[in-house]
Amino acid sequence: MSGEQRNKTEDFVHNRYGYCYFEISENDALIYNLYVEPEYRGKGHAMNLLMWVLNEIRKRDYYGVVKIECKPSEPDINKERLTKFYENLGLKVISREEEMKPAQTIREAKAKTETTLLTQLQQEVEMICDSFTHETGLNIYMVNIDLNPANVLGYDKRNIVTDVEITSEDI
């Protein structure tokens, strides 16, 4: 048995809406068999399961590219739409035929993941600031952001913005 096989862990998460399997080795993380019960589809349950799995993967100190198998279990599930959904979450979509290829070094993969997440965060904060300014006429002077890896890498956006200073031309 190789070292990679020996260090590979397999796990799953589940709730009343569905389930999802994942495995982690030193150089790879793979999510597969994501399933949401038909009556709960389109209500955010797949996203919740994926965020749960991603948090579990990060808790286990894997910060590389996370791969996900895109294999719809039912014919009414649009594969292109599903692929786009996964890619928008920053996941690398693979097919069952594609063999798991080792990720870059953990440090390179972690830096790439952090850079991608920080870029996404910056775009979201800018969009929120622009929307606020447009709706209120007030300018946001400064936004302080908590870059704690538990918040940024765990995708918990509710805990990232810690302070906002607002200015107005009248002040």
For residue 56, count CB atoms less than 10 angstroms from its CB and return exposed for 0-12, middle for 13-18, buried for 19 or more. middle
Residue that the structure tokens 């993967």 belong to: 57
Domains and CATH numbers, the chain: 3-103 (3.40.630.30), 108-167 (no CATH)
Instruction: Tally Cβ neighbours within 10 Å of residue 47.
Output: 13
Question: Kindly report the CA angle at 11 between 68 and 112, in degrees rounded to 5?
Answer: 45
Question: What are residue 3's DSSP bridge partners?
Answer: none
Q: How confident is the model at residue 10 (pLDDT cuts 50, 70, 90)?
A: confident
Q: Of 33-47, 88-102, 142-156, which has the strongest mean pLDDT?
A: 33-47
* pTM attached to this predicted model: 0.53
Q: 13-38, pLDDT tens digit by residue? A: 999 999 999 999 888 899 998 999 99
pLDDT of residue 168: 54
**Mean pLDDT calculated for residue range 61-85:** 89
pLDDT digits (tens, 9 = 90+) for 104-132: 455 555 556 666 666 676 777 777 777 77
- Residue 51 is predicted with a pLDDT of 93
Q: Is the pLDDT of residue 86 over 90?
A: yes
Better-scored residue on pLDDT, 68 or 164: 68
